[in-house]
Amino acid sequence: MNLQHIHDHIITIARQAGGVVMQYYEQPIVQSTKSTAADVVTTADKATEKVIVAELLEHYPQHHIVGEEGGGQGADPELAEYFWYVDPIDGTNNFANKIPHFCTCIALADKDLNPLVGVVYDPVRDELFSAIRGEGAWCDGVAVRVSETDDLSRSVVSSGFPYSKWTNDDDNLAEWGRFVKRVRGVRRMGSAALDSAYVACGRFEGYWERYINSWDIAAAALLVLEAGGEVTNYAGETPPRYLEQQEIVMSNGHIHQEMVKLLTS
């Protein structure tokens, strides 16, 4: 398995996908809803995922592919050695309202669901974040590192709210409030993957979210780790198959324990 070759291939696919996303962005958006009225899907999400998945199926038929819109495809997950995670548009609410902050995410993981290669592409700014396990993380091919900031009062962090927020009391409001009182700034930008890529390149010191899906965080977690940061659950642990845990804390490492303490206090 040549990870460098796969990395370069996914970059090509992500750029192609970004082109499709931007074609739809320039036209009236056609949208419907999924789990709740806050959980939006557009014709662009579906069309873009089709383009990505077709390419992956053609080149990696022996792998299993998990797409946000299409579910599982390709090889039987019981037999597959490798798993792809695809989020054609992360930040669909932004996309649907023509707010220019969203991205396409593609990641490859091994059968234990450790991410091996990840790409997060922002087609609006034409910024492409990528990482290879053990090799590093890059923005447009230039190596990136997490920030050096080591205290919360100088940190800018980001988070997101679950689509179940109208009915689930575990809605991140208490955690959000605790962070507001301790950090320099909290942002809700609306794209978990792009915000996490910003942790990798030092624009944010941290990101946290619960009820998050594997396709949102597979590429992003690898970016943060390869940029020298830390990735855990709310207990501060990184158990096997953490991508499936539905909760994530990503940081520059320096403020990680303080973030975990705020999330569990």
Q: Give the interface segment with ligand IPD, choosing from 16-24, 75-83, 84-92, 135-143 (CB under 6 A).
A: 84-92
CA distance 34 to 71: 14
How is residue 26 annotated by DSSP? T
Which C-beta is closer to ligand IPD: that of 158 or that of 252? 158
CA distance 96 to 143: 32
What is the H or E stretch that residue 39 is in?
none
Which C-beta is closer to Ca ion: that of 52 or that of 263? 52
Q: Give the interface segment with ligand IPD, choosing from 87-95, 107-115, 198-206, 239-247 (CB under 6 A).
A: 87-95
Q: What x/- string results for residues 245 through 264 when contact with ligand IPD is judged by CB under 6 A? A: --------------------
Out of 49, 69, 90, 230, name the contact with ligand IPD by CB under 6 A.
Answer: 90
CA distance 168 to 153: 30
CA distance 124 to 103: 8
Out of 209, 226, 230, 258, name the contact with ligand IPD by CB under 6 A.
Answer: 209
Which C-beta is closer to Ca ion: that of 216 or that of 258? 216
Smallest separation, CB 248 to ligand IPD (Å): 10
Smallest separation, CB 229 to Ca ion (Å): 20
| 225: nearest Cα among 159, 135, 107, 140 | 135
Looking at the DSSP bridge assignments, the partners of residue 128 are 121
Q: What x/- string results for residues 51 through 80 when contact with ligand IPD is judged by CB under 6 A? A: -----------------x------------
DSSP track, 205-247: SEEEEES--HHHHHHHHHHHHHTT-EEE-TTS---TTGGGSSE
Which C-beta is closer to Ca ion: that of 195 or that of 226? 195
| Site for ligand IPD contains 123 (CB under 6 A) | no
Task: Give the footprint of Ca ion on residues 27-86 (CB under 5 A).
Answer: 68
**SS3 track for 49-87:** HHHHHHHHHHHCCCCEEEECCCEEEECCCCCCCEEEEEE
| Site for ligand IPD contains 206 (CB under 6 A) | no
| 32: nearest Cα among 119, 92, 74 | 92
| Site for Ca ion contains 258 (CB under 5 A) | no
| Site for ligand IPD contains 91 (CB under 6 A) | yes
Between strands 31-33 and 64-67, the pairing is unpaired
Interface positions with ligand IPD (CB under 6 A): 68, 87, 90-93, 160, 190-192, 209, 212, 216
Interface positions with Ca ion (CB under 5 A): 68, 87, 89-90, 216
